[in-house]
Every structure is written in structure tokens, then in C-alpha cells.
A and B are shown apart, each in its own frame.
Chain A
Amino acid sequence: MVLPKTGIYEGDVTLVEWLVDEGGEVFAGDPLFLMESEKIEMEIESDVDGRLHREAEPGLEAPIGTRIGVIAETPEECAALLGS
């Protein structure tokens, strides 16, 4: 899971706030985090079902495409991904 490109803007964006707890269960369409891009705050939703592992803290300002976490379909997969 990355800070996503959401339009034509290609500069840095900010992770404002996580909307799901560490290890929390999410479903496709659920809001995951708040992101600020060009002074506009937006909710970013999950595309998939699974469990969230956060890898970045709110306030992170970084380029589009920066990895900020993982959504794994199963706890086993989550563990495997973290191992890698």
C-alpha cells in the first residue's frame, strides 16, 4: 500500500491520519487513511479486503508511490509479508 497518485498532480503528499487501527480488518471501499495533496484533504479507501499493517506515521510527507503499509488477506499472509 502506497501514498497513491490521485490525479495529474505528481508532487509530494502527506499522510494525515490513519482511519483504521494497526491489525484492523478492512473491506474494499472502507476509508483507510486521510491524505493531503495540494492542500486538499481526501479519504483514501481500500481496494481489497484484509488486515492492515501500518508502516508509516501520520505527518509523513513523501513522494507519491511511497510504501506506507500492507493489507494482507489472511493473518498468515500478513506474517509472511512482514517477514519479507
Chain B
Amino acid sequence: MSAGTTSSTSTPEVTASGSRVAPEREALLAGLAMMVRIRSFEDRVQREFARGEMPGFVHTYHGAEAIAAGVCAHLSDADLITSTHRGHGHCIAKGCDLDGMVAELYGRETGLCAGRGGSMHIADFSRGMLGANAIVGGGISLANGAALAADVLGDGRVAVAFFGDGAANQGIFHESLNLAAIWRLPAIFVCENNGWAESTPVSYSTSVADISARGAAYGIPGVTVAGEDYEAVYRAAGEAVRRARAGEGPTLLEVKVARIRGHYIGDHQQYRPRDERQEARGRDPVALLAERLDEDVAPYRAAVAGEIDAAFETGPQGAWPDAATVERDVYAPDPPGPEPPAAAPGAEREITFLEAVNEALNQAMEADETVITLGEDIAGGAGLGEKHEGAMGGTFGATRGLLATFGPARVRDTPISEAGFVGAATGAALAGLRPVADVMWASFMPYCFDQVFNQAAKMRYMFGGQATVPLVLRMAVGAGLRAAGQHSDTLYQVFAGVPGLKVVVPSTPADAKGLLLRAIRDDNPVLFLEHMGLYRSKGLVAADPYEIALGRAACARPGDDVSLVAVGECTLRALDAAEQLATDGISAEVIDVRTIAPLDAEGICASVARTGRAVVVEESPRRGGLAAEIAAVITENTFAALSHPVARVTAANSPVPFSPPLEDAWLPAAADIVAAARAMD
């Protein structure tokens, strides 16, 4: 058996007890000290939580101490970990500051995450601790991405994902193991199997007796060790880390532990048999290691008591965050330039929208070797040799030629695993790369929305400004190509409302190039939405690289009587409408919004304040839509100047239909815009 071993079968390289070299007593004593440090901290958390002054709720690491201690003993500050809602042990073992941890548990400005995260979202990037994660399985793909960054940069780092038995039944676990296996990433997947996913026993929820057996499904070693045995964990982790550093690929390490306490502090565990709980108490890794080493735990506790007392003395006394800072750190600051907004430099040629996107990708990758591209079919024919590799170049051809120019390390086809590779791109962005992931169609975004909504978009804020997520997700949007319900959404109304995301919707080839180059250099997650109806459209585009600032609308046609405020491809329909209105003697100004988050409220409102009339045009369903948001912004800011209520021209409140007459009726049309503007006379 070459891979996927469990406790009952083993390979020569990795055995159930890991490395065959027994650790020195010193290493075991250090492990005991770390475990006692974690236990003492958690005992104190339990006590203080009961008093009622710690907000929210807390999950303690009682019983699992050997895992964090035994794994992190092999890591340096440069190595990266992702953690879970039960993350205090990982923090402490990775060297996080106890004062900062306690202050965070009390929601103070002095906390590791400035009180924005709390126990379930605690992080310390200076120690390579990329965050606890309250989405079960949420950290797995992020660690994968950190490992991808280490692999691309060749810097020798490894990444560890800690997660529970419950996470092994999430799709992201499976997508991530497969991805790590095919790319041989320096990743270690540590499953902390405590027998319970909250109140559901693993015996019920999970199809295999050993979760490590699932390594075999992905062709990677799977190992199970007992978590009450520190030495077993230490040795198995040592081997997994060695493999990762040596380029031998990922390992799935399952550690079976006893959940000595409840799921959260205060859980009265009526779902749990009393004898099973008593049995769990007998599997205390701290007591068992102390006994084995013939050490008294009391001096170890005494050694950390002062530090813990001090942390619990100062932590709750830290200042509360200032309420005025509630929106701080949602976004990273803009990078320098382009100042003044760049006029397109160099010679202009007429090229298509698609060619402009392709040119921007080429120029970004040429300028910065931390820029990588990944996604489904962005090259094609992966692994099949020169004649086939790269022959696809993206579903629409936007990534054509990149593989030949930049090579397979930086231009990566992915399996059809949107959550897996978007999560990996997010993790890679945290660890030194500027990934541009191709999600193909916006309609596929719901498949990876946890990675986007809960992870990429929230990280900077939740971690008190520590995280920088320079990530671009490109995707095709829009109806009109008879692609019907699941290949036509714009999802403008969904994306624009997510704090932490920037959302760019270009309408011309020149804007596509300049906005994409800017988006790649932005330090925030940016969704770059390319309307399919525009891909073949042509326009003049400068050959040299240039950037266009995000968050600024453009005037596509000046006018005096009415402002047509349009998003993306609707700008073309608005220009059509303006032409028709001109024949009636109505002078329409067309504002191309260009980025829907952040929205250029000032630019839009300046136009409307002058014309006194506004028609908002965009291609998402009317209900709860983007047009309603833009109309509200206009009304709030220019009410006195308005001669008529703001009108909306949107898509219908239905999925996109297939039949041509239905799809045409679904779309906002130039005639609708003309009618709305005429009604304001």
C-alpha cells in the first residue's frame, strides 16, 4: 500500500507512530510545559467566562493539548497555520501573546484583533497564525493556499490546517485534499477528532472508522494517532512536516482525542452518556504525559501562573474600541497612484475587450512575479505535452498564451473545485502572492461563496487590520447569450452589498485593461465582472500598461436634461437610449458607474444634481437590487435638485429564462430607458 495508511496499515515512510526516531526527553518535557500552559489558560478562561463578563461564547481546548503542542513544536514563526473555533491551543502553541489573547476574548481595542474577532476569530499574523475560523472547515483551503504560496515562492515554509472531525464531512475538506495532492503542496491536514461534531457523534456522522482512511481517496498518506499520547502526536507530526518540507507532498494526520469538556463552556451535554464522559476524563494527555515522565504538574502550572494572572488582570482592563471606528479596517488602503487618473499612455490600437483583459493579465504577470493565475480551463490540456497544453486558454480565451509565457507554476489549471481553488487563492494572497483566480461564470460563485463572503472579504476586519488579501476573482457575467438560468447571472445585487469586497464592472476595452491592472495591484479582494456581451466589442486601447483608479464613475456621454446611471454592459444600452432621446430634443448624460463597490456616490450625484433627473440602469433582478441602492444614494444626496422620482430600469424578478423572447423581455432594454426618461417630461 503506497498511500492512505491508517493505524492498522502503514508505509515504510510514515507509520502510525510517525518518525521512528524517539524524541529526546527534553522535547517531551518541552511538550509537557506547552500543554500545561494551554491547560492553565483554558482552566482560567472557563472560570472567568462563568462570571459573565466575557461576551459571547467560548470553546475550550481541554483534552486536545497534545495536538497543538505536538504539531507546532515542529514549526517556526514563518510557517503558517489555520485554526478553528476551538483555537486557543493553536494560538498558544504558535507563540501568540497571552495578554493580546485575553484582551481579545474581552473584546478590547488592545486585543490581538482589536476586539473585532473575539475567541472564534482570533489571529496573530506575526506568528504565522492565520486565524481561528468559525466556519467548520473554513481554514482548510486557506492553509492549502498558504502552502501554494510557499511552493510558488520556494521559501521552504509549510502550512498546517487544524480542523475537527465535523469538518471532514464538508466538501471543502475533500476539494482541498485533492488539490493539495495533485499539486504536491507542503501542507499538513490535522484532523482533531474528538468524537463529537457539537452534539453529533462521529460514529453516526462519518462513514469510516478512521478519518485518515480518506487520505487514500486522494493518494496521500493518512495516519491516525492517539491524542492522549503526546509522543505519538509529536512523532507523526514530525514526519508529516518533514515530508512537506522535502517536497514529498501533503499528509492527512488524524488525532483521536477525548473532548473532556462540553462543545462550548456551559454546554450541559445531555446528548452524551455519562460513562463516555467519564472515560474521556481518563484520557487526559497532560496527566498521562506527566505520569509517563514522572513529573509533577504543579511546578509547571506555577511557572505559567504569573503570566496568566497578569494577562487576565490587564486584558479585561483594556480600552473598549471607539464606536466611531466601527468601519475601520474593512478595506486595506489604496496602493499609490494612479495620480492624476492616468490618461492612456502610448500608442492606441483597436482591440477587443477580451484582448484587453488578456493584455492586462500578461502585463501584470510580467511586472510582478507574485502574480499567478489559476482556475478551470485557463490553460487546457494540463500535463499532456506541448501540443495540447495551453490550447484552451480559458473558456472565452482571456488567458490564452499565459501558460507558454509564464509556465505551469504560475498558470495553473484547477479541478472543478470552485470552493477549493478560490479558498486556496485566498490563502495564497495571505501568504505573499497576488492570485488572479478565474471563476468562469458568476453563476458558479455560490459554490465558493463561503470562501469569498466569510473568508476573503471579512478577514482584514475580523483580524483587526492584520490581514492583507490582494486577490482578484475574474468571472463572466450577464444574459443575452441564450445561456439560461445557471450561466447568465450578474449577481451585482449580491456582490455589491458585501463589506470588504471591491466589485468592478467595466464596459469598454480601455477600462477593462486599466481597471484590471489596478485591481491586481489593489490589496483587497476584488471581483472583476466581465459581461459576456462585451467580450467581442472593440475599442481603442493603449499598448503600454496603465491603471484606472477603482471607485470612480466615468461620463460616457455628456448631457443636460437627464442622467442615465448605468452599470457595465447597460452603459451601451444607455448610450443607445441617449441617441434616441436626442432625436426628441432630450439631452441625456450617460454615467458609467464602473465600480459598484465602492460606489462613486460623489460622481453620480454631481451629474444628477445638475440634470435634476435620474434613471438607474442595471442588469440584476429589481427586488433588493443594486438599482435600488443607487437610487437611494441619489435621493439622499440630491433630493432638492430632483424634479422627478428616480426611475429604475432593471432585469425582471425571475431567474434568466432560456427562450429568446423571454430572455429579451427579462433584460433591461434601451426602449425601457427611453420610456423612463420621457416619462419625466
Contacts and interface: CB of A to CB of B under 8 A. Distances in A.
A65 B53 contact: yes
Given A28-B281, A65-B51, A65-B52, A6 B265 contact: yes
A45 B43 CA distance: 14
Contacts of B277: 29
Contacts of A10: 52
Interface residues on B, range: 10 to 19
B57 A7 contact: yes
A63 interface: yes
B50 interface: yes
Nearest to A11: B52
Interface in B20-73: 43, 46-47, 49-54, 56-57
A44 B269 CA distance: 10
Interface residues of A, number: 16
Q: Binding site of A, secondary structure by majority: helix, strand, loop or mixed?
A: loop
A8 B49 CA distance: 11
Contacts of A64: 50-52
A73 to B, nearest CB: 12
A57 interface: no
Nearest to A28: B281
Contact of B278 (A5, A7, A29): A29
B51 A43 contact: no
A5 B46 contact: no
A14 to B, nearest CB: 15
A5 B281 contact: no
Given A63-B52, A64-B52, A8 B57 contact: yes
A38 to B, nearest CB: 12
A77 interface: no
Interface in B267-322: 267-268, 277-278, 281
Q: Binding site of B, secondary structure by majority: helix, strand, loop or mixed?
A: loop
B266 interface: yes
B56 A47 contact: no
B406 interface: no
Nearest to B277: A29
Contacts of B53: 65
B43 A43 contact: no
Contacts of A42: 268
Contacts of B47: 47
B49 A5 contact: yes
A68 to B, nearest CB: 11
Contact of B43 (A6, A7, A47, A65): A47
A2 B264 contact: no
A4 B50 contact: yes
B266 A2 contact: no
Contacts of B266: 4-7
Interface in A37-69: 42-44, 47, 63-65
B602 to A, nearest CB: 41
Interface in A2-28: 2, 4-8, 10, 28
A63 B53 CA distance: 11
Q: Which has the most chain B C-beta neighbours within 10 Å: A2, A7, A10, A44?
A: A7
Interface of A: 2, 4-8, 10, 28-29, 42-44, 47, 63-65
11 contacts: A2-B50, A4-B49, A4-B266, A5-B49, A6-B265, A6-B266, A6-B267, A29-B278, A44-B268, A65-B50, A65-B52
In order of increasing CB-CB distance, the 6 nearest A-B pairs are A6-B266, A64-B52, A4-B50, A65-B52, A65-B51, A42-B268
